[in-house]
Amino acid sequence: MYALCDVNSMYASCEKVFDPTIRNKPVVVLTNNDGCICAACNIAKRAGIGKKFVPYFQVKQELEKAGAVIKSSNYELYADLSQRMMETCTRFAPYSHIYSIDECFLFYGKGAYKPPEGWFEHARSIRRTVWREVRLPIGVGMGLTPTLAKAANHAAKRLDGFRGVAVIETEQERKSILKQMAVSDVWGIGRRISKRLNDIGIHSALDLANARADSMRKMFSVLIADTVLELNGHARISWDDVRSPKKQIFSTRSFGQRVTEKQVLRQAIATHAAIIARKLRKQDSLAVCVMVFAHSSIHAKEPYYRKAMVCEFSAPTNDTRVITKAMCSQIDAIYAEGVRFYKCGVGALELIDTSHYQPDMFVASQDNKALMGCLDFINNKYGRNTMYLAAQGIEQKFAMRRAFLSPQYTTRLADLPKIYCNDV
């Protein structure tokens, strides 16, 4: 079973945590430099204000009239509350994966395990506990695959009668929820593809689930075929290649074995920074604000430790060197002696399109486009880690635990089988 926990209007909800006087007011959060609207709470949305990505100056008066509370984005606060929310959620399951600043997947294993109170009550208690401990409202969706958990989460928040919790356990529940969802609301189905799907008569999520996976592969892609299988309860998506949301990019991973050395932690952070930068360039985005975090295991006996830091760039960037340098400079704040680190990660919280970026006359960008183009070209041609920053380390002690890995006979020179011939 999978669960997806997702905070309702994360940034606006964070603003309400320590200020109960604005809990019942429409709250709107602005992006860096108070340029555009980046989040609005449900009350604001219901009042029809706080549309995302609208420039603030255009709607200033309208917001004033509606009595909206305006907040500049406070990423330090959001990053910290995000960590707390994740900490609470991950206590509930043996496996977890942070997907974005306000979403995490929980995984309960492939077996027939079921909590004694049942999945629905379990999901409700996750939601209640997060509210009690962090004062953030979340939606919890559960299903047999990540895509179904996402669908259940959608139902929990948007469909009538769910009130924040939905579980897809039976065939009847699966069909009834998918039937009420537009195909464009399915995880990983973008606007362009849903248009093409509409053209061939696929309108609801259930229509897509009932399509044939092999013909979807031929007409669209393996990803869409996998989505069809996932909607039918066959898990196809693994943590390492889950699609990242476009407005945020996260790279996180647990260590193969606990990390206690500062040097090793720094190398792992540099590796995540490089992944983020590569993904930013791939989708033509620049990062305005990036967070780095590390924590020990919540399931360990020793006291839990976690730390997150946020860096804002006055010149938005997607240069591996700039992001790596900024992240690694936080190492003294993140690292603590004696802590057995279990996981770390880097997340770009605020992105802008490369094409929409207006350079600042007084802040020169450090980015070297040609150099990054060269790096990407070489790594695309010869394999992902052909060229990388030395900051990532040569040995990568933090890498996946693969103690029982067989040699890479066909792809790694050092692993070529050796044959010894004796003269007789």
| Binding residues vs Mg ion (CB under 5 A) | 6-7, 10, 102
Residues found in the chain = 424
Q: Which is nearer to Mg ion, 31 or 324 (CB)?
A: 31
State the minimum distance, in angstroms, from the CB of residue 17 to Mg ion.
15
C-alpha 313/C-alpha 163 separation (Å) is 39
Report the nearest approach of Mg ion to the CB of residue 89 (Å): 13
Which lies closer to Mg ion via its Cβ, residue 38 or residue 259?
Answer: 38
Do residues 107 and 97 touch, judged by C-beta distance below 8 A? yes
E-strand ranges in 119-214 read 138-143, 165-167
- Give the Cα separation of 340 and 331 in Å (integer): 15
CA distance linking residue 35 with residue 417, whole number of Å: 60
CB of 7 to Mg ion, least distance (A): 5
Min dist CB 268 to Mg ion, Å, is: 27
By C-beta, is 6 or 367 nearer to Mg ion?
Answer: 6
Orientation of helix 146-158 relative to helix 222-231, angle to 10°: 70
Q: How far is the CB of 307 from Mg ion (least distance, A)?
A: 23
Please say which residue, 157 or 174, places its beta carbon nearer to Mg ion.
157
Of 4 and 228, the one with the shorter C-beta distance to Mg ion is: 4
Closest approach, Cβ 211 to Mg ion, in A, equals 28
Tokens linked to 285: 């985005």
Alpha-carbon distance of 279 to 144, in angstroms, equals: 29
Q: Which is nearer to Mg ion, 101 or 237 (CB)?
A: 101
Token pair for 220? 């669209």
CB of 142 to Mg ion, least distance (A): 17
Nearer to Mg ion by C-beta: 80 or 102?
A: 102
* Identity of the residue, 38 or 339, whose beta carbon is nearer to Mg ion in the bound complex: 38
In the sheet that holds 341-353, the strands lie side by side as 249-259, 341-353, 285-296, 306-317
Residue 202 belongs to what H/E stretch?
none
Beta strands across the sheet bearing 103-107? 95-100, 103-107, 2-7, 138-143, 165-167
Task: Please state the closest distance from residue 76 (CB atom) to Mg ion, in A.
Answer: 19
345 forms bridges with which residues in the sheet?
252, 293
Residue 358 CB neighbour total at 10 angstroms: 7
Q: How far is the CB of 248 from Mg ion (least distance, A)?
A: 10
Q: Which residues pair with 175 in a beta bridge?
A: none
CB 142 within 8 A of CB 3: yes
d(CA 144, CA 1): 5
Q: Which residue has the tokens 């992006």?
A: 31
CA-based torsion, 400, 405, 411, 417: positive or negative: positive
Q: Return the number of the residue (10 or 259) whose C-beta is nearest Mg ion.
A: 10
Sheet of 27-30: strand order equals 37-40, 27-30, 69-72
CB nearer to Mg ion: pick between 250 and 342:
250
What is the C-alpha separation between 30 and 358, in angstroms, rounded?
Answer: 18
Q: Token pair of 362, please?
A: 């007084």
Q: Considering beta carbons, is residue 7 or 277 the nearer one to Mg ion?
A: 7
Smallest separation, CB 349 to Mg ion (Å)? 13
* Amino acid of residue 61: Q
